[in-house]
């Protein structure tokens, strides 16, 4: 009997210890508010960036498939440069070089830099989606007398969206994770918030595991959400 009481007490002490550590690192002095701020920054910067990226991606994907050599070249230069340089480096170039003279707000720089970065990947996703639609679809549309634009809009793009959606949503999820480099320009994103708590409390594992779980919950939740969306869109594929 004493043996079991002993084990119970050990477990009890263990969990009380964890709780006390957690309380000291996260709750005391309202440090959890840092995480809330970081989470908010991460989410709104990622959403704004993906919106910018989507607009850029739509335009440049159309450039990439256009007949004009000039437009194609511009789009190719953009995607080559952006995809060939790490986001952290780009972010610092934007903040310390390009926008430095304007003294622009670091959050705004973060949104612009992430948006431009995401745009290059979205461009490639959309281009692959459009070019993945069988050429026969375009020929069928054109042979009915529809113009290039009408065919693109009503026949090719609806099918391209469906095939591009899984890669597009994973780009958004990847972007949420990549915003963790924002600390390079001293934006308090979720990762930075965890780091600040670690420095203040000398406890590494509680803040780091906490932000890891938060990242995982966001990405897992979004993955599930997008899967539902895909299933709806693929209704015509059921056979």
Closest to 221 in 3D by CA, of 176, 158, 167: 176
Q: Which is nearer to other proteins, 5 or 149 (CB)?
A: 149
Q: Which is nearer to other proteins, 157 or 182 (CB)?
A: 157
CA distances from 108 to 94, 95, 115, 129, 231 (A): 11, 10, 10, 30, 35
* Smallest gap from residue 65 Cβ to other proteins (A): 18
**DSSP code per residue over 78-136:** HHHHHHHS-HHHHHHIIIIIISGGGT--HHHHHHHHHHHHHHHHHHHHHHHHHHTS-HH
State the residues that interact with other proteins by CB under 8 A: 134, 136-137, 139-147, 150, 154-155, 158-159, 162, 236-239
Maximum alpha-carbon separation in the chain? 89
**Euclidean distance between CA atoms 23 and 100, whole angstroms:** 40
* Smallest gap from residue 148 Cβ to other proteins (A): 9
* Smallest gap from residue 17 Cβ to other proteins (A): 58
Place of tokens 């679809």: 137
Q: Which is nearer to other proteins, 9 or 66 (CB)?
A: 66
**Euclidean distance between CA atoms 44 and 176, whole angstroms:** 10
Q: Which is nearer to other proteins, 29 or 134 (CB)?
A: 134
What are the tokens at 151?
């065919």
Q: Which is nearer to other proteins, 89 or 150 (CB)?
A: 150
* Smallest gap from residue 120 Cβ to other proteins (A): 28
CA distances from 122 to 30, 97, 109, 116, 129 (A): 39, 25, 19, 10, 10
**Euclidean distance between CA atoms 23 and 201, whole angstroms:** 11
* Smallest gap from residue 237 Cβ to other proteins (A): 7
Q: Which is nearer to other proteins, 53 or 141 (CB)?
A: 141
* Smallest gap from residue 140 Cβ to other proteins (A): 4
């Amino acid at each position: 009997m004493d043996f079991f009481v002993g084990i119970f007490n050990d477990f009890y002490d263990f969990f009380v210890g964890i709780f006390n550590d957690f309380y000291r690192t996260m709750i005391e002095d309202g440090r959890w508010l840092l995480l809330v701020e970081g989470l908010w920054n991460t989410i709104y910067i990622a959403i704004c960036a993906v919106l910018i990226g989507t607009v850029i991606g739509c335009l440049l994907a159309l450039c990439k498939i256009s007949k004009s050599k000039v437009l194609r070249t511009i789009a190719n230069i953009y995607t080559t440069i952006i995809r060939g340089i790490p986001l952290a480096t780009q972010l610092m170039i934007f903040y310390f070089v390009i926008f430095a003279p304007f003294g622009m707000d670091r959050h705004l720089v973060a949104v612009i830099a992430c948006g431009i970065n995401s745009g290059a990947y979205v461009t490639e996703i959309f281009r692959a989606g459009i070019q993945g639609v069988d050429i026969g679809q375009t020929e069928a549309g054109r042979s009915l007398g529809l113009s290039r634009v009408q065919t693109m809009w009503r026949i090719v793009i609806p099918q391209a969206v469906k095939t591009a959606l899984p890669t597009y949503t994973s780009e958004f999820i990847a972007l949420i994770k990549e915003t963790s480099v924002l600390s390079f320009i001293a934006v308090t994103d979720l990762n930075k918030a965890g780091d600040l708590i670690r420095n203040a409390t000398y406890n590494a594992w509680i803040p780091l595991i906490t932000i890891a779980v938060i990242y995982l919950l966001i990405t897992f939740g979004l993955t599930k959400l997008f899967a539902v969306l895909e299933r709806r869109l693929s209704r015509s594929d059921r056979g």
